[in-house]
């Protein structure tokens, strides 16, 4: 089956990654339409050696379209996804617009592919840091139910968008040259700095990104009792997120058991070379489909051998966004 497909938000960082992944995976396309704002209309993007012209996104863009890969912002998805569904398309939405809607499945294909069957026209792609954590944590949860995850992230600026990646590059260049540079997108000094994730802070002190880790994982795992205190931090890395994961299991779990489980887990690559002190790095994760997992060790602070520590890295634009959505479409 070949799909008449549209990419909504085709000129953004995730939109252009959609093109790369569709070509690399030889996704069955009957046709491909590129949609973006009026500012980007007329631009040409390369796909399989051809130059495709970007069209302006309008309410009439979805006639004859069967599949929409959406990554144009939550408000855009809220407006246009129902229009696409009314025209008969299935929308795989990469924004936060529908993630916590009880009528919309939230899917990581390595975790809950069966939930795709529940869709009513829209399937939500989880948040990037949630996806990257869920891929290696889920097979461990299946083997030994998890009670609590303490999550600390080191998130690349690619999560803010393509403009932020350019901002970081220029800010770093300016810092090295000793000149002033007024950042255009990133809120805090980016070069040689780390800063708290730039999402809103709730009254309890947790920001939106940290709340997503808890609420989305509970929904994906179908585990409403799971506890996840998170701390999400931006780092001056161009692309690929890293995360420190501390897990409390119901029953004892050893590092050897973790390695055996993750060695067979889909979407996971173990990088755990103690002799060379070589573990997951965002530089190595960039451009990779798999989530890298290492620093696998017993948490000596937990009684009864029920604690495990991990350090992971995953490409935020690929598995954390575009690849996950294309995998959902492939399962359709």
Q: What are the residue numbers of the active site?
A: 128, 241
- For tokens 């058991």, what's the residue? 257
Q: What's the rounded Cα separation, in Å, for the pair 201 and 138?
A: 28
Distance CA 236, CA 158 (A): 10
CB-based contact 131:107 (threshold 8 Å): no
In which element (H, E) is residue 297 found? strand 291-298
Pairing of strands 146-155, 50-56: unpaired
DSSP 207-242: BHHHHHHHHHHHHHHT-TT-B--EEEEE-S-SS-EE
Tokens for 19?
A: 């093109």
């Amino acid at each position: 089956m070949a799909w008449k497909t549209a990419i909504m938000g085709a000129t953004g960082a995730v939109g252009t990654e959609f093109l790369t992944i569709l070509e690399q995976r030889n996704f069955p396309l009957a046709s491909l339409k590129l949609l973006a704002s009026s500012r980007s209309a007329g631009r040409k993007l390369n796909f399989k050696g051809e130059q495709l012209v970007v069209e302006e996104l309008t309410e009439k863009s979805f006639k004859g379209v069967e599949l929409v890969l959406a990554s144009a912002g939550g408000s855009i998805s809220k407006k246009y996804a129902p229009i696409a569904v009314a025209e008969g398309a299935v929308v795989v939405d990469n924004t936060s617009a529908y993630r916590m809607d009880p009528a919309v499945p939230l899917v990581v294909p390595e975790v809950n592919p069966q939930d795709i069957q529940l869709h009513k026209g829209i399937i939500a792609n989880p948040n990037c840091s949630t996806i990257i954590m869920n891929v290696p944590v889920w097979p461990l949860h299946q083997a030994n139910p998890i009670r609590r995850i303490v999550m600390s992230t080191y998130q690349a600026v690619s999560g803010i968008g393509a403009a932020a990646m350019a901002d970081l590059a220029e800010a770093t260049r300016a810092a090295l040259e000793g000149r002033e540079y007024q950042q255009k997108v990133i809120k805090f000094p980016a070069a040689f700095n780390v800063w708290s994730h730039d999402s809103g802070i709730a009254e309890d002190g947790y920001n939106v990104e940290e709340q997503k880790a808890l609420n989305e994982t509970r929904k994906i795992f179908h585990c409403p009792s799971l506890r996840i205190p998170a701390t999400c931090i931006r780092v001056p890395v161009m692309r690929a997120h890293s995360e420190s994961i501390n897990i409390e299991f119901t029953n004892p779990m050893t590092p050897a058991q973790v390695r055996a489980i993750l060695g067979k887990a889909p979407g996971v690559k173990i990088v755990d070379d103690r002799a060379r002190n070589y573990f997951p790095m965002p530089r190595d994760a960039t451009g990779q489909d798999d989530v890298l997992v290492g620093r696998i060790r017993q948490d000596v602070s937990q009684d009864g051998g029920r604690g495990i520590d991990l350090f992971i890295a995953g490409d935020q634009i690929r598995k954390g966004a575009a690849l996950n959505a294309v995998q959902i479409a492939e399962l359709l």
